[in-house]
Amino acid sequence: MEQVFQQVINGLSLGSIYALIALGYTMVYGIIKLINFAHGDVYMVGAFVGYFSMSTFKLGFVESLLIAMMICTMLGVLIERVAYRPLRNSSRIAVLITAIGVSLLLEYTMMYFVGAGVRSYPPLPGFLNGSFTVGGVVIKNMQLVIIGVSVTLMILLQFIVRKTKVGRAMRAVSQDAEAARLMGINVDNTISLTFALGSALAGAAGVLVGVYYNSINPLMGLMPGLKAFVAAVFGGIGLIPGALIGAYMVGLLETGVVATGYSMFRDGVVFAVLIIILIVKPTGLLGKNIKEKV
């Protein structure tokens, strides 16, 4: 039983990280119907920014987190501006291929500058390294920080999307960009804002992963990016609550597979579940079925 709770805690921390990445995927998909393959790499850049800010500039955890979020925000907006905006009226496949191109560009530009090797984060101040035991279950303080930061950011995001004017604009654009434009909404700015928010979350996820797993490399964004996307599809892509549910389910599933001793299969299991979901209910757990009209 303790074992189970232990794994649930681990799964929740992993799920929180996937959730932060998945939210960016799902928001971008919701608004311009693009699988932003470069999103996982924005997360990677976040991890490296955090690394350099902690090791080279000797800044604290919170400052590094904020700096990484800021730089990723700018990066996300820049990517959208340079690579995706010129393609606003192109076919979906064209944009998807561009996203793959941007992803390669980020990965290998980073590799060019920092090398392909794995780097580890500098040791953390005492509090973050600690852990405590509740009824036989070891909880690391870092796990609480991850879950705490993620939940805070998600609540903040939900507030922005639901309660503010720009959030309303985002929802309007995702429903019907043309109609939103007619209502006087600046669609381009709203899309930029979506990229900004999603990238900020990814940047935060990057720093959290760097601190938690203590190892980062230029290709680290690939797998978590794909899995976060799986999570987004799992819950119903384009839906923020769906991404959350999906991310926690993928996190728990993966931890469960590892805990039962099949850690080599964990990527395979996640993708197998993805394919099953796509076949049974392509719109995801919370998605609605939309018929294509001629």
Question: Closest distance between another protein and the C-beta of residue 51, in Å?
Answer: 19
Site string for another protein, 24-43 (x = CB under 8 A): -----x---x-x--------
Taking contact as CB under 8 A, which single stretch among the options 103-111, 152-160, 185-193, 199-207 is the one that binds another protein? 103-111
Decide whether 195 or 229 has the Cβ nearer to another protein. 229
Decide whether 156 or 275 has the Cβ nearer to another protein. 275
Q: Map the footprint of another protein across residues 111-170, applying CB under 8 A.
A: 111-112, 116
Give bridge partners of residue 139 from the DSSP assignment: 132
Q: Which of 59, 77, 87, 160 binds another protein (CB under 8 A)?
A: 87
Decide whether 64 or 98 has the Cβ nearer to another protein. 98
Half-sphere exposure of residue 146: CA atoms within 13 angstroms, side-chain side: 28
Q: Are 15 and 247 in contact (CB under 8 A)?
A: yes
DSSP state of 193: H
Residues in binding contact with another protein, number by CB under 8 A:
46
Alpha-carbon gap, residue 40 to 20, rounded angstroms:
11
Tell me the torsion sign for CA atoms 217, 225, 252, 123.
positive
Q: Map the footprint of another protein across residues 197-236, applying CB under 8 A.
A: 222, 226, 229-230, 233
The residue type found at 91 is S
Q: Which two tokens stand for residue 76?
A: 């996300």
Binding of residue 91 to another protein (CB under 8 A) = yes
Instruction: Find how far residue 39's CA is from the centre of its chain.
Output: 7
Question: Closest distance between another protein and the C-beta of residue 64, in Å?
Answer: 26
Tell me the torsion sign for CA atoms 52, 55, 56, 61.
positive
Q: Which of 62, 74, 109, 151 binds another protein (CB under 8 A)?
A: 109
* 139 SS3 class: strand
* 89 SS3 class: coil
Q: Map the footprint of another protein across residues 270-289, applying CB under 8 A.
A: 271-272, 274-275, 278-279, 282
Q: Which of 12, 31, 87, 92 is nearest to 237 (CA)?
A: 31
Residues making contact with another protein (CB under 8 A): 29, 33, 35, 83, 86-87, 90-98, 100-109, 111-112, 116, 222, 226, 229-230, 233, 264-265, 267-268, 271-272, 274-275, 278-279, 282, 292, 294
